[in-house]
A = this chain, B = another copy of it.
Amino acid sequence: MNPELLRQTIELAAENVRRGGGPFAALVVKDGAVIATGSNRVTAANDPTAHAEIVAIREACRVLASFQLTGCDVYCSCEPCPMCLGALYWARASRIFYAATAADAAAAGFDDSFIYRQFALPDAARAIPMVHVEDTSARRPFEEWAARSDRVRY
């Protein structure tokens, strides 16, 4: 962990606020070098998925021409929300360093902690109702996937 890079991430988050964005930023670091940065662009881009980590992951994968961030550390100004933590798992990042906590984000009016708590509830008890609908063809996409010898696993 390089404290200077964490400080740089926090500064990028503060700069993003000055530009009218949300108070979050992230860096992707490989072999000690920053290969991508991201700031929250939700309202500027009309994209609820444009959190700092998602922006940084997408940019880092573009730079590496890969859908994996193996061997990369990710520095986050704040503890990743469930969406971003999920993305960091799919990207298979090596380590995550963060400064502010989900509780700090909640105190600033963001839903991170609320969403984490929702995940622990059964489908029917969630704020967004999730309905599992039985369909005889539900597993057909997986069957077709399994049958392809050239499938690219991710």
B120 and A120 form a contact (CB under 8 A): yes
Bound-complex Cα distance A63 to B25 (A): 26
Number of copies: 2
Which of B67, B127, B140 sits near A48, CB closer than 8 Å? B67
A144 and B82 form a contact (CB under 8 A): no
Interface residues of A in 100-119 (CB under 8 A from B): 100-101, 104-105, 107-109, 111, 115-116, 118-119
Q: Using CB atoms and an 8 Å cutoff, list the residues of chain A in contact with chain B.
A: 1, 3, 6-7, 10-11, 13-14, 16-18, 20, 22-25, 42-43, 45-49, 51, 54, 57-58, 61-62, 64-69, 77-79, 81-101, 104-105, 107-109, 111, 115-116, 118-120, 127-135, 137-142, 144-146, 148, 150-154
